[in-house]
Structure 1
Amino acid sequence: MIRLTRRGTGVLAGTVVLFAFGQWAGYPFFLAIAGAGAGALVAAVVLTGRRPRVAVTREVYPDRVERGRPAMAALRVRNPTGRRQGAFSAGDRIGGGVRAVRIRALAPNAEATHHYELPTARRGRHQVGPLTLDRGDPFGLGHRRLTAGEIATLWVHPRVHVLHPPGGGRPRHHHEGTAVDDRLRGSYDLREVREYVPGDEVRHLHWKATARTGQLMVRDYADPDQPRFTALLDSRLEGALLEEAIDLTASLVTSAAHADRPARLVSSGGLDLDTSGGVQAVRPLLDALCVLEPSAAAGLVPEQLARGGVGGFAVVTAGGTAADRAALAALRDRYAPLVVFVFGPAGSLAGIPGATVLEVSDAADAARRWNAVSR
């Protein structure tokens, strides 16, 4: 849609006034000036009405970046026509802002690439694009905005601090009851025979059960010596405090995954992501934390943790109630070691039996305290 600028609006108003006055007073001079103004407005409409015939593609690299680290965009603009394309200004939408880009004139069938840095100060999954083309006339009377190009996604992950790998807990056996949940996967103890899913070991196929059911069935094993780590994030926090808590949680689960330990990420708001460990597990863990929003959960410990679990356990919070303390104390028989990071005074969470409570000021301080304790 073509819109008049402030200058164009003024010219339009002046044209109407001069035309009316010229008609009423009978002065051809004012009618001529009004005609010139009307001609300029018509020319502005014609010039801005022509859509720039360009093909726009965009590449964001890297598409996933740690908060505060550099990320770039490569904007390729091609003129697919046989006529020269004039220069114009454009804006690339990035999250809630716009990055101004000046597109230079392109010869027939020519292409130009524009590189610019993307903002990465705010955690989240940010939309990059579409490109907004701003076409104006030489007199500045009107402009027209159009969109072109595809939309890319920039994932700004939490900041990750270097940590010693967290402990996975003492060895547990499936015959110890519900304290060992169905997330333990390994190759020692037979737990059940279940239906085959892509990715299962073919050597674990149970042929008798397959013949009986008519579907591929596999033996499901559990490894009692498999180290595990669970991180619980208090997503009831807000603002800068939540960002620090997410940075610390990201550092903990990333360190565990890099140590090839199965890592489970849980939030008080309902997030529950279980990974098998290894470098391939880092991306889904950080992606989940990238889009995590504050929650209005009543308690710190969600029900799925209260029902069962095993292994090393870390809690990231900023204090809690007596009910939160009781819920954490009830976990100490299943999770070991149990570490509670508290941003600020521990308050009601101080002195939980069987737990190490660390009062920290921010994620960097927590990383230093963790590395000192684990060493």
Structure 2
Amino acid sequence: MITRRGVHLLLGALALYGVGRFLGVAELYVVAAACAALVVTGVAAVRLSTATISARRSLSSDRIPSGGTSDVVLELRNDARLPAALLLVEEDCHHGLASTPRFVVPGLAAGRSVTLRYTLTGGSRGRYPVGPLRVRVRDPFGVAQRVRRYRSTAEVVVYPRIEPLPKGSIAGMHHGSGASDIRRLFTTGEEFYTMREYVTGDDLRQVHWPSTAHRQTLMVRQQEQPWQAEATVFCDARVAAHHDRGPDSSLEKSVAVAASLVWR
């Protein structure tokens, strides 16, 4: 693609050719031919450059807490045998994560690579696309450019805002996230508890034969298993149940409360 400067240069070459023909000045022919050749050379240079630039993207984390950050690294490599001209690098990025990243690479020698970095900041919760990448190549004189769009994208998930909750346990026998003092008895479990007489339905594999021989009746091992506390958190996400929109809406506050309880 010819830039505005290249178009003006071609128009100038035509004008010089016309004036040289009208006045009979051969030197103007040479200048007109040089201007046209410069544009043609610039177009050929950018076409060759964009065809050999490979790009790779990596994220330090694709899961970001609200207010957290993640580093994005872009690596461009020139796989051609000729150096690449001026590179203008731009990547699509949701405004909730960062402003559109833009970079200028003065040039890239054959077989060399360059690393570009920028940072994403988690704002509102949700899933956000990162990419695709666009590399705009210009020749040194700025008469031609070409844009190459890469298809690769990434997805970043921003978690809901977590509110700090006071330390402590909920009153009651079954509290916390681990085992409580209440234990349930099973024929199978984590620890041995006691011996008891066999009842119909017990697993015969749990019969303790030495105790059976001593008491002259079938005795089985009784196991115990700690009670694991469980909780279910419900969040009403119906549109009719909330008002307003955006990060300060009642829905976002409800999600933040639910996430804070689960996190706690």
Shift of 1:8: 1.8
Q: Distance in 2 between matches of 1:139 and 1:85?
A: 13
Asked if the contact 1:41/1:141 (under 8 Å) is kept, the reply is yes
Shift of 1:89: 2.8
Q: Structure 2 vs 1, CA of residues 58 and 232 (structure 1 numbering), >3 Å: closer, same or farther? A: same
Once the two structures are superposed, what CA deviation does each residue of 1:46-80 show, in whole Å capped at 9, x if it has no partner? 11111342332211222121333222102233444
Shift of 1:34: 1.9
Asked if the contact 2:235/2:255 (under 8 Å) is kept, the reply is no
- The percentage of aligned residue pairs carrying the same residue is 22
Counterpart residue number, 1:158: 160
Q: Structure 2 vs 1, CA of residues 109 and 12 (structure 1 numbering), >3 Å: closer, same or farther? A: closer
Q: Structure 2 vs 1, CA of residues 110 and 140 (structure 1 numbering), >3 Å: closer, same or farther? A: closer
Asked if the contact 1:74/1:115 (under 8 Å) is kept, the reply is yes
Shift of 1:28: 2.7
Q: Bigger radius of gyration, 1 or 2?
A: 2
Q: 2:6 corresponds to which letter in structure 1?
A: G
Once the two structures are superposed, what CA deviation does each residue of 1:9-57 show, in whole Å capped at 9, x if it has no partner? 2212222222233334433343333222211111111111113423322
Asked if the contact 1:89/1:134 (under 8 Å) is kept, the reply is yes
Asked if the contact 1:163/1:252 (under 8 Å) is kept, the reply is no
Once the two structures are superposed, what CA deviation does each residue of 1:222-259 show, in whole Å capped at 9, x if it has no partner? xxx9643322246464444x544344222222133235
Counterpart residue number, 1:62: 61
Asked if the contact 2:85/2:140 (under 8 Å) is kept, the reply is no
Counterpart residue number, 1:248: 253
Judge which range, 94-103 or 55-64, deviates more.
94-103
Counterpart residue number, 2:38: 40
Q: 2:261 corresponds to which letter in structure 1?
A: A
Alignment equivalent of 2:146, drawn from 144, 147, 153: 144
Counterpart residue number, 1:77: 76
TM-score normalised by structure 2 residue count: 0.62
Judge which range, 18-27 or 57-66, deviates more.
18-27
Q: Distance in 2 between matches of 1:80 and 1:34?
A: 35
TM-score normalised by structure 1 residue count: 0.45
Structure 1 spans left out of the alignment, 5+ residues: 169-187, 189-224, 260-375
SS of match in other structure, 2:15: helix
Structure 2 spans left out of the alignment, 5+ residues: 171-183, 185-228
Asked if the contact 1:58/1:149 (under 8 Å) is kept, the reply is no
SS of match in other structure, 1:17: helix
Tell me how large the CA RMSD over aligned residues is: 3.5
Q: Structure 2 vs 1, CA of residues 149 and 77 (structure 1 numbering), >3 Å: closer, same or farther? A: farther
Matches of residues 159-308 of structure 1 in structure 2 within 5 Å? 159-163=161-165, 227-233=231-237, 235=239, 237-240=243-246, 243-258=248-263
Q: Distance in 2 between matches of 1:155 and 1:59?
A: 15
